[in-house]
Amino acid sequence: MRFTLPLLVTLLLAAPLLAACGGPAAVNVTLTTYGISLSTASVKAGSVTFNVKNDATDLIHEFVVVKTDTPADQLTLDAEGNVTEESLTVVDEIEDIEIGKGGELTVDLAAGHYVLICNVAGHYKGGMHADLTVAP
């Protein structure tokens, strides 16, 4: 296949534009002992992939994506201090992420505010929550 010069120039000019559009958004999530940190606090709406890694040396974690306007540290808790997931819009989750292991979760997110938590007993209260903004 032979490219003509104008076609080559067009392709070269278009490459940065295509790169700028990017593929699906990705968020790297690191779970530690009572901590959850994100590689970014904001992504574009659409397909979002969470690459989750449990870096704790002593705890199994889970990863729950919740759609809510409530700030991450102000979710409603039950008597034991755990988040009542039944009262929330849970988008999806990865359960039982072993120590040193990871998981991948791809979800379609509309614009809005989301909260990412680990709701293993006591872990939310311990600080395992993070806000995520999905921009239109």
Query: DSSP secondary structure string, 59-127?
Result: --EEEEEEE-SS-GGG--B-TTS-B-GGGSEEEEEEEEE-TT-EEEEEEEE-SEEEEEE--STTHHHHT
Q: How far is the CB of 10 from Cu ion (least distance, A)?
A: 51
Q: Which of 105, 118, 130, 132 binds Cu ion (CB under 5 A)?
A: 118
Which three-class secondary structure state does DSSP give residue 25?
Answer: strand
Residues 14-53, one symbol each (x = binds Cu ion by CB under 5 A, - = not), give: ----------------------------------------
Q: Which is nearer to Cu ion, 123 or 129 (CB)?
A: 123
What residue ranges bind Cu ion (CB under 5 A)?
A: 61, 118, 120, 123, 128
